[in-house]
Amino acid sequence: MKARIVATASYLPEKVLSNQDLEKIVDTSDEWIVSRTGMRERRIARPDETTSDMGIAAAKKVLEQAQFSADAIDFIVVATSTPDYLMPSTAAIIQDAIGAKACGAIDMEAACTGYLYALGIAKAYIESGMAKNVLVVATEKLSAFVDYQDRSTCVLFGDGAAASLICSEGKGLQIEAITQGSDGSCKDLFIIPAGGSKNPASEKTLSERNHFMKMNGREVFKHAVRRMEQALIQCMEQAGINPSQIRYLVPHQANDRIIETLAKRLDLPKERVCRTVQKYGNTSAASCPITLAELLQTTTLESQDRVMLVAFGSGLTWGAAVLKSV
């Protein structure tokens, strides 16, 4: 028995933050942002709209799409780096709101790679017989942790959510192979330094703006390309396929230049590489499944078509997956 993604749906907040809007906030330009990142706009949650609210909206949508009762969910995994609270978990809040009565629920933090790690957990639960139906929700309110005084990071991130229903049977995308990796020696390259137990909130952490994301973009870029390429190759080997068998690549939407470099290295034509980066920016854990949801909405896959996911994030963490249409 192989776990498969039977449905995926996304939720994006209404408010659009364009490059022109950012020009009014920091010393930047539409030209710089487009040429360095490919981004033109991103979505921003309302001040009263939380990470769990967006996750709930995506979860309700996926249940409706699959005509699936929340009662039949055995386990919920929420991938997020921007939970509503340090405790309780965002997963418990989502479990209650969607009326999933008989299931466990956990948050899982692997930054932008979160969806791939959550898929791994869903696959393991289902294929070991511990669960039949797992709801994976990836949801991020990054705007709450973006420093809108720092032009090097504030142009990159947006808010959004997506949810996937992973089941032991049914039509969908079978999870053929997953690879995951991490390297904590690079933890300082992309970090929110304060607010955890190491640097609890204090006047000093507030005045140093250490509750916001800090990133060494240039170094992160180099690691992102290298690690994602490695993850893709390793995962294709595990699944016994080569790049010509990838019908669509759904990469993490951190930067169009990273996506282009990966596509070139795998010799994948443009039309087989999915992109939402221009309109949503980097939505961290939600970026792969938001892009996957858009692919599935606009394309009919043939049986046996392969879709590959690949992601990279703070930690560092990275991962890839081979999905087969069944």
Ligand X SMILES: CC(C)(COP(=O)(O)OP(=O)(O)OC[C@H]1O[C@@H](n2cnc3c(N)ncnc32)[C@H](O)[C@@H]1OP(=O)(O)O)[C@@H](O)C(=O)NCCC(=O)NCCS
**Residues of this chain that bind ligand X (CB under 6 A):** 28, 32, 36-37, 112, 151-152, 155, 190, 215, 217-218, 220-221, 224, 254-255, 282, 312-313
Q: Which of 235, 252, 255, 288 is catalytic?
A: 252
Positive or negative, the Cα torsion across 233, 2, 309, 103? negative
Q: Which is nearer to ligand X, 95 or 291 (CB)?
A: 291
The residue count for the chain: 326
Nearer to ligand X, 55 or 315 (CB): 315
Q: Which is nearer to ligand X, 171 or 222 (CB)?
A: 222
Question: Beta strands of 87-130 (E only): which ranges?
Answer: 104-108
Pick between residue 126 and residue 254 the one whose CB is nearest to ligand X. Answer: 254
- 263 Cβ neighbours under 8 A, 6+ residues apart: 249, 269, 270, 273
| Gap between the Cα atoms of 63 and 71, Å rounded | 11
Q: How far is the CB of 158 from ligand X (least distance, A)?
A: 12
CB of 284 closer than 8 Å to CB of 112: yes
Residue among 19, 103, 112, 210 flagged as catalytic: 112
In angstroms, what is the minimal distance from the CB of 277 to ligand X?
A: 10
CA distances from 231 to 153, 190, 220, 235, 251 (A): 25, 20, 16, 6, 11
- Least Å from the CB of residue 223 to ligand X: 9
CB 190 to ligand X: min, Å = 6
Minimum Å gap between C-beta 305 and ligand X is 27
Residue 112 among the catalytic residues: yes
Query: What is the rounded CA–CA span in Å between residue 164 and residue 60?
Result: 11
Convert 71-82 to b/e letters by CB count within 10 Å (16 or more is b): eebbbbbbbbbb
154 is catalytic: no
Using the CB atoms, write b or e for 150-184: b if 16+ within 10 Å.
eeebbbbbbbbbbbbbbbbeeebbbbbbbbbbbee
Nearer to ligand X, 138 or 224 (CB): 224
In degrees, rounded to 5, the angle at the alpha carbon of residue 143 between the alpha carbons of residues 21 and 63 is 115
Cα end-to-end span (Å), the chain: 13
Closest CA to 291 of 278, 281, 303, 276: 276
Which residue's CB comes closest to ligand X? 217
Q: How far is the CB of 27 from ligand X (least distance, A)?
A: 7
Residues 103, 210, 282, 288: which is the catalytic one?
A: 282
Q: Which is nearer to ligand X, 148 or 221 (CB)?
A: 221
Report the half-sphere exposure of 138 (CA within 13 A, side-chain side). Answer: 30
252: annotated active-site residue: yes
Active site residues: 112, 252, 282
